[in-house]
């Protein structure tokens, strides 16, 4: 029996989860879009039957937020309908189903961090498709829906690398959005937290992000500071960078349930960033 099965295993979170699980000695297997189409029912059924996993973590997703606006049907097939089939198969095989979701299920109009029980109201196609996924995930007899936000990790494209790339091109002046607020979250920390939640048999819906909050401008300032550079970072509004998909202005997630479940919060986002920068420079 495979203890942990991972969809989207080549993504930033999938890689981190696979590495964390293997360090714990868990028998782990994974698949990504090049080896498994999660929208193909027969293929998914064969894959799960072959491995008979104790836990399946669904990290696969249509994550191109702006592209989702023009391709909502496809996004919903991947982020919603396929999740329902995974959930049903997990029930059939007595597998604990863990599904990854997002702060984009909220509209960003709150004036305090979002609780798991707060009403959802996504602004765009990506958030709507992920909300369908949450609804479908609840079809699994044993399930955990993990909402997270502002992810970055090793082996992929993310905000930290986008900023570092600009700095490596000797950019002396950066312009970064300052009117969107959230929780930067390191995939390495999130992976460890997911495994801890599973080992403690936590079910339902839970928010898991690095502790503390900031805006994209504050995040960029900290990246520059930790890299030891002297670069001007100008705060601008979202309107300065028009995008097809709307972004929630405030999507800070409340993690009191996480603390109650594990007796701890995830490390601060500043500490997580420092460890990521070290790992990404030496890895």
Residue 152 annotated among the catalytic residues of the structure? no
Question: d(Cα 75, Cα 244) in Å, to the nearest integer?
Answer: 15
162, 197 Cβ separation under 8 angstroms:
no
Pairing verdict, β 204-207 and 232-236: unpaired
Q: Following DSSP, what letter does each residue of 214-246 receive, concatenated?
A: EEHHHHHHHHHHHTT---EEEEE-GGGS--SS-
Residue 267 is inside which H or E element, if any? strand 266-268
Neighbours of 161 (CB within 10 A): 16
Q: Are 180 and 238 in contact (CB under 8 A)?
A: yes
Alpha-carbon span 152 to 87, nearest angstrom: 26
**Considering 62, 126, 152, 186, which one is annotated as catalytic?**
126
Bridge partners, 212 (sequence order): none
Do the beta carbons of residue 210 and residue 150 sit within 8 Å? Answer: no
The residues that are catalytic are 126
């Amino acid at each position: 029996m495979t203890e942990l099965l991972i969809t989207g295993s080549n993504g930033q979170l999938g890689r981190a989860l696979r590495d964390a699980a293997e360090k714990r000695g868990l028998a782990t297997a994974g698949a990504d879009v090049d080896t498994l189409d999660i929208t193909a029912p027969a293929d998914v059924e064969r894959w799960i039957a072959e491995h008979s996993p104790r836990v399946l973590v669904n990290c696969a997703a249509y994550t191109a937020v702006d592209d989702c606006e023009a391709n909502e049907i496809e996004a919903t097939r991947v982020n919603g309908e396929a999740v329902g089939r995974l959930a049903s198969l997990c029930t059939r095989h007595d597998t604990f189903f863990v599904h990854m979701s997002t702060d984009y299920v909220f509209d960003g109009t709150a004036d305090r961090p979002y609780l798991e029980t707060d009403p959802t109201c996504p602004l765009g196609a990506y958030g709507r498709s992920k909300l369908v996924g949450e609804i479908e995930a609840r079809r699994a007899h044993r399930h955990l829906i993990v909402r997270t936000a502002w992810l970055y990790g090793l082996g992929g494209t993310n905000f930290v690398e986008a900023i570092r790339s600009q700095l490596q091109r000797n950019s002396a002046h950066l312009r970064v959005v300052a009117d969107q607020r959230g929780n930067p979250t390191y995939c390495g920390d999130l992976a460890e937290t997911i495994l801890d939640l599973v080992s403690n048999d936590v079910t339902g819906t839970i928010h898991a992000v690095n502790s503390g909050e900031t805006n994209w401008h504050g995040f960029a300032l900290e990246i520059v500071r930790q890299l030891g550079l002297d670069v001007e970072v100008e705060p601008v509004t979202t309107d300065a960078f028009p995008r097809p998909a709307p972004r929630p202005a405030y999507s800070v997630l409340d993690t009191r349930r996480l603390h109650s479940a594990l007796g701890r919060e995830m490390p601060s986002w500043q500490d997580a960033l420092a460890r990521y920068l070290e790992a990404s420079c030496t890895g």
